[in-house]
Amino acid sequence: MIIAELGREVMKVQHQSVRNITLTLLVLLAGCHPQEQAGSEAKFKTAAAQVMTLKPIDMPVQDAVPGAVVSEQQIQIASRLMGYIRSISVHEGDMVKAGQLLFTIDPTDIQGQVVQAHSGAAQADAALADAKADYERFGNLYKDESIPKAQYDKIKLQYNIAQNQANAAHAGMGVAEAQLHYAEVRAPIDGVITQKFANAGDLAAPGRPVLAMENGKKLIVQTAVSDETYAQLKLDDTALVELAGSMQPLPGKIVRLVPAADSMSHTHLVKVDLPGAKGLYSGAFARVQFKTGSKQTLSVPKSAVLQRAGITGVFVVDASHIAHYRMVRTGSVNGNTVEISTGLNSGEQIVVGSTAELDSGDHIQVSESSAP
């Protein structure tokens, strides 16, 4: 049993040693030109190249979160009447102007109500005319003291009631006519139709949307951030927005911060305006970068980072001006610079230009370059 355990330990040590030796060989081979890998007779060369001395710099710490382009003005359009939809004049994607006809409700029931309202108003007017005639006649009799005051007061009350009934009948007629106007539903704003919830023949009811539309000229980016990121944000702060098809991130301005977090995701709603941005459309995917602080880190130009034999690395120049290919681990990219997480130390010199033809062991004619 003891001998078997010792055998397994020996195998582990041998296996680890092989892995270390293999990794070392890969790094050495990565810095070698193909001609050197083919034969050992190739000689190291002297090359002129720009180098840079590494110094820690402040790099922004950013939280990148997904988002979407949405319209600030989204409207669901419903009928104010109960009735069957006679026709819908628009479809999804149609651009409409304010006041343009969208759909109509069958006005048969409303037209009947209008006729009844007109008839009621006419009857009320006739009753008012009779009551007025009685009021004037009995008023003259009362002046001549031909009738008692109680009889005159009764006629006067009947006349006042007739006036109120006539006013109510005309008000009802106005309401009925207004309802008839609501049978034609028109666009409240300029915009685009985004959804259609019903078709001709469906029953429309107040509060039940028939169409949805939005203003395509008022677009913003909407996203959600964690509690930690939200605590670092302020109104009017700048955020970088990456859109599909955009070559460079667009600068945006934070215009809405919702302090109440979503009960399910525990994230806060944030809205970012993109003033002057062109080619936006509602629903487009966006990636928003919020600056949440800064940190001391080493960064190098993109031109200094290479891929050799599948290994990411840079050429480090020693005190004798000899180039050595060193494996590094990169971090975030900020413009034309790349963060180096591991592999380099402050004060070391690296090659930042003319790296394509370099090999490990080449002598570098140093041309100092400024920091990125």
Chain CA centroid to CA 176, Å: 43
| 337-342 vs 285-301, strand pairing mode | antiparallel
pLDDT above 90 (res 279):
no
**201/236 same-domain check:** no
Q: What is the pLDDT of residue 23?
A: 42
CATH code for position 260: 2.40.30.170
**120/27 same-domain check:** no
Quote the domain boundaries for residue 134.
75-213
**43/164 same-domain check:** no
70 forms beta bridges with 220
Sign of the dihedral defined by the CA atoms of residues 130, 132, 138, 141, in that order: negative
Place 43 in a pLDDT band, splitting at 50, 70 and 90.
Answer: low
Place 44 in a pLDDT band, splitting at 50, 70 and 90.
Answer: confident
Average pLDDT over all residues of the chain: 82
| 363-368 vs 46-53, strand pairing mode | parallel
Q: What is the pLDDT of residue 48?
A: 84
**90/208 same-domain check:** yes
Label residue 212 exposed, middle or buried (CB < 10 Å: 0-12, 13-18, 19+).
middle
- Separation CA 327–CA 31 (nearest Å): 10
How many domains does the chain fold into?
3
Place 335 in a pLDDT band, splitting at 50, 70 and 90.
Answer: confident
Residues 6+ apart with CB under 8 A from 170: 121, 124
Q: For residues 187 and 178, which has the higher predicted lDDT (pLDDT)?
A: 187
Write down which residue in 269, 294, 319 finishes a domain.
294
**95/157 same-domain check:** yes
Q: How many CB atoms lie within 10 A of CB 252?
A: 24
Of the chain, the percentage scoring pLDDT greater than 90 comes to 37
pLDDT above 80 (res 275):
yes
Give tens-digit pLDDT for 290-302: 988 878 888 899 8
Pair 54, 349: CB distance under 8 Å: yes
**304/190 same-domain check:** no
pLDDT above 60 (res 272):
yes
CATH code for position 111: 2.40.50.100
- DSSP-assigned letter for residue 43: P
**81/201 same-domain check:** yes
Amino acid letter, residue 34: P
Q: For residues 335 and 225, which has the higher predicted lDDT (pLDDT)?
A: 225
pLDDT above 50 (res 29):
no
pLDDT above 60 (res 10):
no
**94/168 same-domain check:** yes
- Separation CA 82–CA 207 (nearest Å): 10
pLDDT above 80 (res 253):
yes
Q: Please tell me the number of Cα atoms within 13 Å of 176 on its side-chain side.
A: 20
Instruction: Summarize the confidence of residues 182-199 as an average pLDDT.
Output: 92
Write down which residue in 249, 264, 294 finishes a domain.
294
Give tens-digit pLDDT for 132-173: 888 888 888 878 788 888 888 888 898 899 899 889 888 888
Residues 6+ apart with CB under 8 A from 261: 227, 230, 267, 268
CATH code for position 353: 2.40.420.20
Q: How far is CA 61 from CA 31, 127, 334, in A?
A: 32, 82, 10
- Separation CA 4–CA 13 (nearest Å): 15
- Separation CA 105–CA 78 (nearest Å): 11
Pair 286, 222: CB distance under 8 Å: no
**93/146 same-domain check:** yes
Q: Which residue has the tokens 């005051």?
A: 149
- Separation CA 161–CA 134 (nearest Å): 13
Q: For residues 17 and 355, which has the higher predicted lDDT (pLDDT)?
A: 355
Of the chain, the percentage scoring pLDDT greater than 70 comes to 87
Write down which residue in 294, 325, 346 finishes a domain.
294
Q: Which residue has the tokens 């000229």?
A: 217
pTM beyond 0.85: the answer is: no
Instruction: Summarize the confidence of residues 190-210 as an average pLDDT.
Output: 93
Range with the lowest mean pLDDT among 97-101, 141-145, 364-368?
A: 364-368
What torsion do the CA atoms of 272, 276, 281, 286 make, to the nearest 10 degrees?
-40
Place 27 in a pLDDT band, splitting at 50, 70 and 90.
Answer: very low
Amino acid letter, residue 171: A
**164/207 same-domain check:** yes
- Separation CA 108–CA 85 (nearest Å): 12
Q: For residues 90 and 7, which has the higher predicted lDDT (pLDDT)?
A: 90
**19/9 same-domain check:** yes
Give tens-digit pLDDT for 56-68: 887 778 888 999 9
Instruction: Summarize the confidence of residues 360-368 as an average pLDDT.
Output: 81
**100/198 same-domain check:** yes
Alpha helices in the chain (DSSP H): 2-30, 34-38, 108-143, 149-181, 227-230
